[in-house]
Chains A and B, each alone.
Chain A
Amino acid sequence: KAGVTQTPRYLIKTRGQQVTLSCSPISGHRSVSWYQQTPGQGLQFLFEYFSETQRNKGNFPGRFSGRQFSNSRSEMNVSTLELGDSALYLCASSLALSNEQFFGPGTRLTVL
């Protein structure tokens, strides 16, 4: 079974731009969660989607948004990028009623 895939793996943007990151979950997984990892704040939960609905949201500003498609693939969008948005963005998928999340390799976003 293929693992969680994230595209692109690396991204460089400038302040004020917007960015869209993509995540394809493991086949059969319907829940997708997103996390931001930075050296200062560590791993922080952004949001979780299940069956195209946002089920849970972390404490991030409205510039961070996401969505999930009918095939369970998910995208997250960050608008009006700030320098502090530079981070590794990790996506994780899980089965519907599971307690175990499987992580992708991440997208490293650099904001200049």
Chain B
Amino acid sequence: AQSVTQLDSQVPVFEEAPVELRCNYSSSVSVYLFWYVQYPNQGLQLLLKYLSGSTLVESINGFEAEFNKSQTSFHLRKPSVHISDTAEYFCAVSVAMNYGGSQGNLIFGKGTKLSVKP
């Protein structure tokens, strides 16, 4: 079975400060890794994903995450946050299939609420 642990339930930071949201996973099989963001009263939006290849993946809005297989981690970072980054962030995994897709059930962490203060 797979599991995801997000170590911080809430992270308050000041605007323009760097931030790291931590995520660790457990799985006996190959998985794909994802970060989703949820703004109030909205659904989930994919922020970035790791499937294979370079262990550092980046999003278009300045976030990056690094896959570390030995530490089974996929931490999310941003060097300088904005007020608009205030949201809840979810780390998730799905079981990788041979054909390159994944099983249709994402396993999510409990989420980290990022609060950016002016």
Contacts and interface: CB of A to CB of B under 8 A. Distances in A.
A28 B60 CA distance: 25
A98 B92 CA distance: 16
Contacts of B103: 48, 56
A100 B49 contact: yes
A103 B109 CA distance: 17
B110 A99 contact: no
B45 A103 contact: yes
A72 interface: no
Interface residues of A, number: 27
A58 B2 CA distance: 13
Among A43, A56, A99, chain B packs the most CB atoms within 10 A around the CB of A99
A45 B111 contact: no
Contact of A97 (B36, B90, B96, B101): B101
A104 B44 CA distance: 7
A77 interface: no
